[in-house]
Amino acid sequence: MPTIVHVLISAYLLSMMFSMGLSLGGEVEDRPSKHRRRRLLVRALVFNLVLLPAIALLLVNVLHPSQDGRIAILLLAACPGGRFAPHLCRMARGELALSVEITLFLAKLTVLTAPLMARWTLHLTQVEIHELPLIARLLVLQLLPFVVGKQLRRRLGARVAPLARPLELASWLCALVIVVLLLHAREMRIVTLLSAGDWLVVLIFATLSLGLAWLLGGRSGPVRRAFAISANARDLALALVVVDAALPEHRLRLTICGAWLLFFLFDLGFARWSHRHAPTPEPTALGHEVPTPA
């Protein structure tokens, strides 16, 4: 079982990052739109990479979840950039281009930030991690396939674009199989892996993250929804790679999977609620999205 999970995690990262590289098109933006999106992007990156791990650390120190729950929450907070974020952003009628850019930049930056942040936060729980071997592994599994895919798209143009969709579907299939394998482990039930207090801490973290992201999104509804979706979009595969480097324990992987599922369901619920209540956006001449008049 562990060997299969390890192979699937590696396949998930490779296929997803390769498909992301192939999907990059040559979108042209005017200068005001580009500057606006860059400012929003920097704000979103600081929020995901710095502020959210700090909030997670504060919560676990104040609410005192179990050791497994504490590690799961801290690791997931250190691993932003869930690949499903653009799909949920589209459902939520958020600013899709911004969500895609946030996801892409997080995928590149977490190669360095996730091991360093995990080492710092896990050290506080008496768990040590060797970040340099982990960074090397993530460079191969996460950054290299993205760069290769991007270069192929740049050199071969739209001829390789059709490969992105099958690779993305393959990565989603790997993620589904990983979850199924972990949930069907012998004598393990996902609901009982975390105590009621642990589930409460995860829920509080998800609520605070979404609310703070909404406020940091500014006045634009689509931007706010893109920020809010990114707040609870955690990278399960990356978190599993990190935990295997620190604590290769089967139970802890299941605990992380359970916490991740709650984050995902929270994000999905918000996206569906936004889809029902948010006005339908339409592009303007500057590439912004504005609500359709009622």
Give the pLDDT confidence of 128-172 residue by residue, as tens digits. Answer: 666 777 788 888 887 888 888 888 888 887 788 788 888 878 887
Which is more confidently placed, 243 or 212?
Answer: 212
- The predicted pLDDT at position 90 comes to 87
How far, in Å, CA of 30 to CA of 36, rounded? 10
- Do residues 51 and 203 lie in contact, with contact meaning Cβ atoms separated by under 8 Å? no
Residue 289 falls within a domain, yes or no?
Answer: no
Amino acid at 261: L
Amino acid at 204: I
Which is more confidently placed, 127 or 139?
Answer: 139
Q: What is the pLDDT of residues 179-225, one digit of tens each?
A: 777 666 544 455 555 678 888 999 999 999 999 999 999 889 999 99
The per-residue DSSP string of the chain comes to -HHHHHHHHHHHHHHHHHHHHHH-------HHHHHHHHHHHHHHHHIIIIIHHHHHHHHHHHH---HHHHHHHHHHHT-B--TTHHHHHHHTT--HHHHHHHHHHHHHHHHHHHHHHHHHHHHTTT----HHHHHHHHIIIIIHHHHHHHHHHHHHGGGSGGGHHHHHHHHHHHHHHHHHHHHT-TT--HHHHS-HHHHHHHHHHHHHHHHHHHHHT-S-HHHHHHHHHHHT-B-HHHHHHHHHHH---HHHHHHHHHHHHHHHHHHHHHHHHHHHHSPPEEE-TTS-EEEPP-
The phi, psi pair for 78, rounded to 5°, reads -80, -5
Q: What is the mean pLDDT of residues 80-92?
A: 87
- The predicted pLDDT at position 254 comes to 79
State the total domains in the chain: 1
The DSSP bridge partners found for residue 80 are 234
Residue 293 falls within a domain, yes or no?
Answer: no
Residue 285 falls within a domain, yes or no?
Answer: no
How far, in Å, CA of 262 to CA of 292, rounded? 32
Residue 290 falls within a domain, yes or no?
Answer: no
How far, in Å, CA of 228 to CA of 234, rounded? 12
- Do residues 217 and 36 lie in contact, with contact meaning Cβ atoms separated by under 8 Å? no
Local confidence band at 33 (pLDDT 50, 70, 90 cut-offs)? low
Cα distances (Å, whole numbers) of residue 254 to 71, 106, 118, 168, 269: 12, 24, 18, 24, 22
Which is more confidently placed, 28 or 38?
Answer: 38
CATH number at residue 106: 1.20.1530.20
Residue 292 falls within a domain, yes or no?
Answer: no
- The predicted pLDDT at position 1 comes to 45
Q: Parallel, antiparallel, or unpaired: how do β-strands 289-291 and 281-283 relate?
A: antiparallel
**Range of lowest pLDDT (33-37, 105-109, 163-167, 286-290):** 286-290
What is the domain range of residue 162? 2-24+37-278
Which is more confidently placed, 284 or 215?
Answer: 215
Asked if pLDDT for residue 270 goes beyond 80, the answer is yes
How far, in Å, CA of 137 to CA of 162, rounded? 28
Residue 42 falls within a domain, yes or no?
Answer: yes
Asked if pLDDT for residue 263 goes beyond 60, the answer is yes
Residue 224 falls within a domain, yes or no?
Answer: yes
How far, in Å, CA of 139 to CA of 135, rounded? 6
Residue 283 falls within a domain, yes or no?
Answer: no
